[in-house]
């Protein structure tokens, strides 16, 4: 089976599963899905550096407590997480050697924060004013999950096509030799045009502030992908696992989501 066939078949299966979850899943199914994805992502993270698997039960216990007792304010968590990602991105570009040293030393602490914040923000993906006043079911806001998946998928697809057709100028070949300036610019331009067209066709209201949020989310998605390439370079691996034929691991598919989720929450939930 060729690589393109594997990739296509995997995408088809993922599409079927996510469609079934969106159409027929209940609130418990959504929570369970987010939990399993977060746990398996951390498992892949520990496997990259061969860290002890004891971090997994610690992660599960800690986040279960935080979720059950509802002691984390998602709004402030999103702001802090966004700042952490901006710091990581700037360090990756300007202080790469220092960041490599930091990652090797605090690899699991960084991983626990990345996946805990990812889990806690997604599990509370409903409007901020609702969460502060009364209980809201995650299932009632499932359209936001559909939106972020379509958004990130659009960025990935348009960037890949633009890079293949027009890509010449490498951005940071020392981190990811296949990523080009033309791919990023094409991904940005076509994603913006796609969503303006989508919004206008559906007669939805939008402002230039929404375009600004969308622009920053696209940039964060680019750098999230680049950051995971940076991690794989540090530990000299190609993929985080082989669980998704043709694509690699869960982290290889979710890398763009980690830095974008906090801003997505601040954009649409507050």
| Secondary structure letter of residue 134 according to DSSP | S
pLDDT in tens, 62-90: 888 888 887 888 999 999 999 999 999 99
Distance CA 231, CA 227 (A): 6
The single residue listed with the structure tokens 């940039």 is 219
Token pair recorded at residue 85: 């990602």
pLDDT of residue 136: 65
3-state secondary structure of 124: coil
pLDDT of 131? 45
Query: How large is the angle between the packed helices 96-123 and 74-94, nearest 10 degrees?
Result: 160
At 186-204, the pLDDT tens digits run 888 888 888 888 888 877 7
| Domain spans, the chain | 3-268
* Residue 176 three-state SS: coil
**Confidence (pLDDT) at 133:** 43
What pLDDT was estimated at residue 135?
A: 56
Q: Given this model, what pLDDT does residue 173 score?
A: 79
Percent of the chain with pLDDT over 70: 93
> What is the rounded distance in angstroms from the CA atom of residue 42 to the CA atom of residue 202?
38
Q: Name residues whose C-beta falls within 8 Å of residue 18's C-beta, 6 or more positions apart in sequence.
A: 149
pLDDT of residue 155: 87
What lies within 8 Å, CB to CB, of 135 at 6+ separation is none
pLDDT for 3 equals 61
Measured over the CA atoms of residue 178, residue 51, residue 253 and residue 67, the dihedral's sign is negative
Backbone conformation region of residue 50, classed left if phi is above 0, alpha if psi is from -120 to 50, else beta: left
Spatial separation of the C-alpha atoms in residues 171 and 156, rounded to whole Å? 16
Among candidate residues 19, 42, 21, 45, the one with its CA nearest the CA of residue 33: 21
**Residue that is written with structure tokens 């992908």 in the block:** 225
pLDDT given at position 62: 87
- Residue segments in the chain with a per-residue pLDDT below the cut of 50: 131-134
CA distances from 252 to 26, 136, 209, 229, 237 (A): 27, 31, 30, 9, 12
């Amino acid at each position: 089976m060729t690589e393109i066939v594997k990739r296509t078949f995997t995408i088809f299966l993922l599409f079927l599963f996510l469609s079934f979850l969106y159409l027929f899943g209940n609130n418990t199914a959504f929570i369970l899905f987010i939990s399993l994805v977060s746990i398996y992502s951390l498992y892949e993270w520990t496997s990259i550096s061969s860290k002890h698997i004891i971090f997994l039960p610690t992660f599960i216990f800690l986040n279960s407590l935080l979720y059950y007792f509802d002691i984390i304010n998602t709004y402030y968590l999103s702001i802090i997480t966004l700042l952490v990602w901006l710091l990581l991105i700037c360090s990756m570009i300007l202080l790469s050697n220092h960041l490599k040293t930091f990652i090797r030393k605090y690899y699991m602490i960084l991983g626990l924060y990345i996946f805990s914040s990812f889990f806690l923000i997604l599990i509370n993906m409903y409007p901020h004013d609702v969460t502060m006043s009364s209980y809201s079911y995650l299932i009632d806001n499932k359209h936001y999950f559909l939106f972020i998946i379509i958004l990130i998928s659009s960025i990935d697809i348009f960037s890949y096509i633009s890079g293949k057709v027009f890509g010449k100028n490498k951005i940071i070949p020392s981190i990811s030799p296949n990523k080009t300036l033309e791919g990023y610019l094409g991904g940005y331009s076509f994603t913006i045009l796609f969503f303006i067209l989508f919004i206008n066709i559906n007669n939805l209201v939008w402002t230039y502030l929404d375009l600004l949020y969308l622009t920053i989310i696209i940039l964060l998605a680019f750098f999230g992908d680049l950051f995971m390439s940076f991690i794989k370079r540090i530990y000299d691996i190609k993929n985080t696992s082989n669980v998704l034929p043709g694509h690699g691991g869960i982290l290889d598919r979710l890398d763009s989501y980690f830095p974008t989720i906090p801003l997505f929450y601040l954009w649409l939930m507050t």
